[in-house]
């Protein structure tokens, strides 16, 4: 659950900062309004997307691959997320506030890579289970 919360917060702040870099602003008339509206929308949106995509992907990878292969699971999860990004970008039109196809592709790819690193990458995992840490 801790990784889920961290992932949602990182993606939300990244989304809000990315939207205020260059006009036209997606959510507001100025940078401040756009930042706070993107922050609120990102908390709701990334919570939903993360719950619908990342948890089932994590469950499937843990079920199909040995638990000792955490880095391989993370790389495979990143490839799956980049595949989903490719499917999304190529099947949906680029809207005027998205600065063109290549910028939209780049932004979505960065979100997929950041989600992979913050949710799947085994930071500080030394092979112990979480049950061991909680009982001590």
Rg (CA), the chain: 17
What percentage of the chain has pLDDT greater than the value 70? 90
Quote the distance between the C-alpha of residue 100 and its chain's center.
Answer: 21
What's the CA gap between 136 and 133, in Å, rounded?
6
pLDDT tens figures, 22-81: 777 777 788 888 888 888 888 998 889 888 999 999 999 999 988 888 899 999 999 999
Domain edges within the chain: 2-124
Instruction: Report the pLDDT value the prediction gives residue 127, as an integer from 0 to 100.
Output: 54
What's the CA gap between 20 and 25, in Å, rounded?
7
- With 0.75 as the threshold, say if the pTM is over it: yes
Structure tokens at 96: 């005027």
Q: How many CB atoms lie within 10 A of CB 136?
A: 6
């Amino acid at each position: 659950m801790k990784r889920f919360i961290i992932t949602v917060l990182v993606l939300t702040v990244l989304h809000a900062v990315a939207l205020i870099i260059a006009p036209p602003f997606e959510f507001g008339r100025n940078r401040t309004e756009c930042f706070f509206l993107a922050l609120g929308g990102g908390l709701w949106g990334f919570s939903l997307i993360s719950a619908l995509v990342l948890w089932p992907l994590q469950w499937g990878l843990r079920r199909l691959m040995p638990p000792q292969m955490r880095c391989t699971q993370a790389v495979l999860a990143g490839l799956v997320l980049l595949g989903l990004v490719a499917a999304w970008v190529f099947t949906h039109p680029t809207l005027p506030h998205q600065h063109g196809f290549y910028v939209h592709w780049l932004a979505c790819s960065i979100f997929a890579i950041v989600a992979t690193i913050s949710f799947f990458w085994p930071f500080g995992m030394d092979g112990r289970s979480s049950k061991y840490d909680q009982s001590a």
